[in-house]
Amino acid sequence: MSGGVDSAAAAVLLAREGCEVEGATLLLTGDGSAASDAAAAAAVLGIPHRSVDLRETFRREVMDVFAAEYRAGRTPNPCVLCNRAVKFGAMLRYALENGFDGVATGHYAILRREGNRVCLYASPSRKDQSYMLYSLSQEQLSHAVFPLGALEKDEVRAIAREAGLPVAAKPDSQDICFVPDGDYAAFLARYAGEEFLPGDFVDAQGNVLGRHSGLARYTVGQRKGLGSFGRPMYVTALDPAHNRVVLGEEGSQYRADLTAEDVNWIPFDAPPAPLRCRAKIRYHAAPASCTVTPLPGGRAAVVFDEPQRSVTPGQSAVFYDGDRVLGGGIIEGFV
């Protein structure tokens, strides 16, 4: 139980089904407010509650990786890391070691057992979070429970209100949990001692266009905060080796291919031949038709039918067949 309405409503639904439910709040950072809200919700529901200290795991598996990715000029998605290494990694191990059957969360996604595999499906809800869950292993999925499934957010809030939960009207969090103000550069300076120095804006040919205020303040596709160049300009690449931000006009934003690393497949092992499917390159992106070719070393090459805007190294490319999640990986570069 994270202290929000989704996980609290998930507990309500499980209790209604007659499951033996215990609330658990993961202590990930120094702020204990989530545990307080979750404990209050558990008290209303009449279920036990405990806090599980996973701060060291979260620091090592999420925050350290987040800092390293920015240092390498990539834009990471820490929620993907957290789901695999923390919520369904360290927390699942803790749950199984303490006699529980699995871990239920407030994610909006659907699980179905198909033969000897557990398959992940996108939720028809506007809050679908299957993109964030593609990296879970079969072992993790077999012990995962997503009670919210296909529900919409207003339905979830109604469930919480009916149960008398104090978090029923609590706003959704909008930023990364350990960077609540959204200032990644300031966080990296505090956390990792990273000093992102000013450097040059350059075009694709290396011509200097102006000065930037530190690499961590930019991501591929960004337009705002670049300054005035007499025409709209966008970030097309980050060059940490030379502390440069590469800019281009609108047309330079589009790529028809990418390569991905750390690829995880869900309904099957890596396919033996190129696979037709659709891929999402950001959480809120629309899936786009493509061909995925497995490569050695847990990698894959993706070629889109139509060029995609702002393909961003460090983000995830997630593969779908309809609403069925086939798998995905971390965007590392281009074919």
Q: Please tell me the distance from the alpha carbon of residue 325 to that of residue 26, in angstroms, as a whole number.
A: 27
DSSP per-residue string spanning 52-110? EE-HHHHIIIIIHHHHHHHHTT----HHHHHIIIIIIIIHHHHHHHTT-S-EE----EE
Helix (H) or strand (E) holding 263: strand 254-265
SS3 label, residue 141: helix
Q: Which residues are catalytic?
A: 82, 177
With both helix axes pointing from N to C terminus, report the angle between 5-16 and 33-45 in degrees, rounded to the nearest 10.
20
Q: What are phi and psi of 253, to 5 degrees?
A: -75, -15
- Using CA atoms of 221, 58, 296, 240 in order, give the dihedral in degrees to the nearest 10: 40
d(CA 250, CA 225): 16
Q: Distance of alpha carbon 156 from its chain centroid, rounded?
A: 21
